[in-house]
Copies of this chain bind each other. A is one copy, B any other.
């Protein structure tokens, strides 16, 4: 019998480890760590990571924020197995007691999610890195088209935001990382449900359009939107990270520590 091939990867300069499927498109890294860095180290309360995959973002939050209790939610058995295997590693013992794992589909009806352990209004903070819909993807047959349509629906930002809304307590916060060319769609999904919408563009380098956005918002608020000064990952030349990004990725810095524009957002 062949078991799935997995790797063990260290993050934040070795502060924690994650077990991930080898190869394929489901490995986490930069995005998960940036998402986690958006949470202040002093955060205290219940965090739900929707679509947590192998748990990199959730582990990073639990590792960085000693007063956070983290629930990882995913529907993929291999991701859940990786998360469980990762959580059991000795390197993660310091925070493993504050992390739990729930097998649930973000797009499932609320009763099914609740039965799986993802309760209504159970979180102070929801973090998510939703799949990005490839609206232009071609389909070769009616059956594929039907399947694709199903996938598109389940992956729509609106579905993820709706589940985040149900999961959050009143006044709770949502933080999402998303592809920059989908940020308007994400904001539209938040409209009416969340206020204090704050958008942080994440640029690969000086002068280039954002490749990702980090969006924070507060459930039920009517506070105004804010568009923050962008965060740069790389210098003008070469692949090296700029010091602020390096601090986040290798030393476990909080985003607010290295990018003052983010301060006070959460």
Contacts and interface: CB of A to CB of B under 8 A. Distances in A.
Interface of A: 180-184, 187-188, 191, 197, 199, 201, 203, 206-210, 213, 224-230, 260-261
Contacts of A207: 229, 260-261
A260 B197 CA distance: 28
A213 B227 contact: yes
B183 A227 contact: yes
B182 A225 contact: yes
A232 B205 CA distance: 17
Contacts of A180: 225-227
21 contacts: A181-B225, A181-B226, A182-B225, A183-B225, A184-B184, A184-B188, A184-B191, A184-B197, A187-B187, A187-B188, A188-B188, A199-B227, A201-B201, A201-B227, A201-B228, A203-B229, A207-B229, A208-B261, A209-B229, A210-B226, A210-B228
Contacts of A224: 181
Contacts of A197: 184
A208 B229 contact: yes
Contact of A184 (B187, B201, B206, B230): B187
Contacts of A227: 180, 183, 199, 201, 209-210, 213, 230
B184 A209 contact: no
Nearest to A183: B227
A161 to B, nearest CB: 13
A137 B197 CA distance: 21
Nearest to A198: B209
Contacts of A226: 180-181, 209-210
A221 to B, nearest CB: 13
A136 to B, nearest CB: 9
Nearest to A212: B227
Given A184-B225, A199-B227, 18 more contacts: A180-B225, A181-B226, A182-B225, A183-B225, A184-B197, A187-B187, A201-B229, A203-B229, A206-B229, A207-B229, A207-B260, A208-B229, A208-B261, A209-B226, A209-B228, A209-B261, A210-B227, A210-B228
A261 B199 CA distance: 18
Contacts of A188: 184, 187-188, 191
Contacts of A184: 184, 187-188, 191, 197, 225
A108 to B, nearest CB: 28
- Of A188, A197, A226, chain B has the most CB atoms within 10 Å of the CB of A226
